[in-house]
Amino acid sequence: MLPIELYEGLETAWCPGCGNFALLKAFKQALAELDIRPQDLLVVSGIGQSGKFPHYLSCHTFNGIHGRTLPVGTGARLANPDLKVVCVAGDGDCYGEGGNHLLAALRRNVDLTLVVHNNQVYALTKGQASPTTDQGLKTTLQPQGVPYLPLAALALAVSQSCSWVGRGSATDPVHLQELYQQAISHRGFALLEVLQPCVTFNRVNTYQWYRERVYRVEETPDYDPENELWAYQKAKEFGDRIPTGVIYRHPRPLLEESHPALAAGPLVRQQPERDINQLLADFF
């Protein structure tokens, strides 16, 4: 196990009491437990409070733009599969702005971990509805209440045979650390959604609200995360009871394995030399 101080980053700029603190601590503990050195880890983020996450760590960092963590992380991973890649996004970032990239990532199955910080609200822009905001919730932008159904992202992931689907909660940090470890260790695309109370802009989905609802799915007798129909039922469950833990697991071939170019090792370690006469041969 590596010392946790190794991952110490900048001083945080989150609100006091923000759910993200529990995520940051559990994430660092998971890295230490997994012996992942900072120089072997790339964390890609977008925009939102989750976007700042890698700055508060010590590792390779690419803080890109809103919604685009997945394509950046996928490109990075294809170029250098020796790196552990973790993409960090928010609910607005990943399920809203970057929705098409999530669909593609589910199909691709590149070996990276996507962590979606889900606080069910747009916090950085001060309290508008996100794709996961409860229907009917009144916000500054939706004074009559949000008319849309929240996105059931985990059910979507299960339906698309996502390689690993899990949910953690800031209210259960010990469990969350285990889930980080499992998601990062999983071979294939892992989607870990983490419930993360926003203490400033979401006065409904509070710590208390989550504590009363969240349970560990592995405590369900005989629960089998490789049973797709059961996983689908659990992934759809979000209300009086909210399951956390490994919801679904589905081993699949990796995108990396489909690229013959990667058989000779990471692209970034190759030094391509192409003979010009061979290149021209098709055109004589």
Q: Which residues bind other proteins (CB under 8 A)?
A: 10, 38-40, 42, 44, 47, 52, 54-55, 58-65, 68, 70-80, 82-83, 100-101, 103-104, 259-262, 264, 267-268, 270, 272, 274, 276-277, 279-280, 283-284
Nearer to other proteins, 68 or 175 (CB): 68
DSSP per-residue codes, 88-132: EEEIIIIIIITHHHHHHHHHH--S-EEEEEE-SSBTTTTSB--TT
Nearer to other proteins, 63 or 227 (CB): 63
CB of 104 to other proteins, least distance (A): 4
CB of 274 to other proteins, least distance (A): 5
Nearer to other proteins, 22 or 255 (CB): 255
Nearer to other proteins, 75 or 173 (CB): 75
CB of 118 to other proteins, least distance (A): 22
Output the CA–CA distances (angstroms, integers) from residue 152 to 31, 78, 133, 236, in the order listed: 29, 29, 11, 6
User: CB within 8 A of 275, min separation 6: which ones?
Assistant: none
Question: How many other CB atoms sit within 10 Å of the CB of residue 128?
Answer: 16
CB of 57 to other proteins, least distance (A): 10
Separation of alpha carbons 204 and 59, rounded Å: 35
Nearer to other proteins, 69 or 132 (CB): 69
Closest CA to 113 of 172, 53, 166, 60: 166
| End-to-end alpha carbon distance in the chain | 60
Helices (H), the chain: 20-33, 69-79, 99-108, 153-159, 173-185, 207-213, 228-236, 255-258, 276-280
CB of 112 to other proteins, least distance (A): 10
Separation of alpha carbons 128 and 50, rounded Å: 16
CB of 165 to other proteins, least distance (A): 20
Nearer to other proteins, 112 or 179 (CB): 112
